Structure 1
């Protein structure tokens, strides 16, 4: 065999291990899980309430968290994405949830970190983290107030420019139960006075500021001009868009959730909340909260139910 003087060298294959890797870290005090993907996007999840307290994409923080928010487990977090379950708002009288605190127990229970899964390629780098809450892990007070056997798995997936959150509710007991669920998302915006919301036109809503009066949205681009607390019911389209200065800022895409709550406390209500700081913070936040809250969701013995959202940062 003749040796070639300029024979090609061996081809070096790019292995998965040589690609940039998603990183997931649990804090030293086991209170928080942080994930970073090769694009530089990050997410932080507090195990207290499985509350997302930060999501950064393209160097920009997308969630608003109060400067006075308690992150030590002493009370629900004001800001980020608290998980509301199994009741929304003050519990109704003569209902299975009537002994529970406002917004239920999920947002002020400690969740378990169940682990991660990753996907790394040139076009799609992402990381998914799972968190669990089970009836056995509740406080004795919560078990007594709501004595059902259940399991919650909350999946948080970080992809470049997107954050997806999916909640699975399993009935692990012998009797069915009803629940509400809401992802109480506080979006960070530049200025509420130049922000509008599209995707709500023609939707029936309950206005909690006006004694639960029911109306139909007549604005294609809703502008917030005062205290706002509305439950938009059974939206016809899956995407709600937050627009800043005429440019889309966020798409909030619902998956199997029926309703969307729009909330901003405005001046006076913000002043009255001890954990809302700065008091002018209402100018830089807007809650667009997907959920199923206008009616009860029911799961029977052995059944499960799943819903979620994807938030897309458009800058």
Structure 2
């Protein structure tokens, strides 16, 4: 057995940070940094990178890594004294050597279990006891699955309330050629207009300026169609009723130190999330939120991609 085919390998990544490499037999792979519990790479069996990580990303604590799949917990957004999008994405997670039983439908051996518990410092800013378990798995067909289980471990009867998102950065050929299917006619909160509520018009979401929207009560399946690459990403989600769609466009891109000026053209965030209605757990209760990503070839239909086929068949 060559080292190429070891399903799980722990090694050093950028700046000596520890990472786990997952490999599937057919050639797909994923990389997960223990810093942030963050997936930073997901490649198909042709070795093509499917996630976007900025060329200017700073792989150095305490800065969160710009790209891949940052975990937003215990909050999404910017509220109160907690830092934007919470602190899970800039803490060092541990490998979970003894996770509780995991109902799973994958036969894959390429998975890793991570765990995050609050430090004394964390308790000062977020005084709650919890265990956050994360499984990252690579399916036999190259699908990438993330399952989060958050348990309230308070012994003082204190409830745990949080919001959450998988802040997934997809790699796209050209943002102006991309459309998102599955969110049309839904209500959304517009972060660019003080979270005012609107209803999505039109038959697909396309991009020609900055977008920062939280779609609420969304379906379990969303498709991102990349016209130029003839590729469709399909997001399946469970326990995550909302979906955030974000692209910073040119002005914001230039204002971010860890993001290239023109990189907004080659990325799109579509995030499985629980934002509008925070989740509250009583002591001993556990919440579970799952996201499964797949990349499939898109079929053409009269010069347009036919998303319905993708949404129905996948």
If the length of structure 1 is used for normalisation, what is the TM-score? 0.85
Q: Distance in 2 between matches of 1:209 and 1:87?
A: 18
Aligned residue runs from structure 1 range 62-101, under 5 A? 62-91=50-79, 98-101=80-83
Question: Which residue matches 1:148?
Answer: 128
Aligned residue runs from structure 1 range 97-108, under 5 A? 98-108=80-90
Question: Which residue matches 1:57?
Answer: 44
Pairwise CA distance, 1:27: 1.3
Pairwise CA distance, 1:211: 2.9
Q: Distance in 1 between matches of 2:191 and 2:43?
A: 32
RMSD: 2.1
Question: Which residue matches 1:5?
Answer: none
Q: Distance in 1 between matches of 2:246 and 2:8?
A: 32
Aligned residue runs from structure 1 range 142-291, under 5 A? 142-159=122-139, 160-173=141-154, 174=156, 175-235=158-218, 237-245=219-227, 247-277=230-260, 279-291=261-273
Pairwise CA distance, 1:99: 2.2
**Aligned pair 1:34/2:17, yes or no?**
no
Deviations along 1:47-69, whole A, 9 cap, x unmatched?
11101110101221010001111
Pairwise CA distance, 1:116: 9.8
Q: Count matched residues.
A: 282
Q: Unpaired segments of 5 or more residues in structure 1?
A: 1-16, 92-97, 118-122
1:209 alignment partner, SS class: helix
Q: Distance in 2 between matches of 1:162 and 1:153?
A: 20
Q: Distance in 2 between matches of 1:308 and 1:191?
A: 28
Q: Is the 8 A contact 1:99 1:146 kept in 2?
A: no
**Aligned pair 1:25/2:13, yes or no?**
no
Change (3 A) 1:125 1:296: closer
Q: Is the 8 A contact 1:116 1:128 kept in 2?
A: no
Pairwise CA distance, 1:88: 1.1
In the TM superposition, structure 1's runs of 4+ consecutive aligned residues that sit over 3 Å from their partners are 123-126
Pairwise CA distance, 1:161: 2.5
Pairwise CA distance, 1:126: 4.4
Deviations along 1:211-231, whole A, 9 cap, x unmatched?
322111122211011000000
**Aligned pair 1:294/2:294, yes or no?**
no
**Aligned pair 1:46/2:33, yes or no?**
yes
Pairwise CA distance, 1:86: 0.6
Deviations along 1:246-266, whole A, 9 cap, x unmatched?
845100111110100000000
Pairwise CA distance, 1:272: 0.4
Q: Distance in 2 between matches of 1:100 and 1:108?
A: 13
Q: Unpaired segments of 5 or more residues in structure 2?
A: 100-105, 298-314
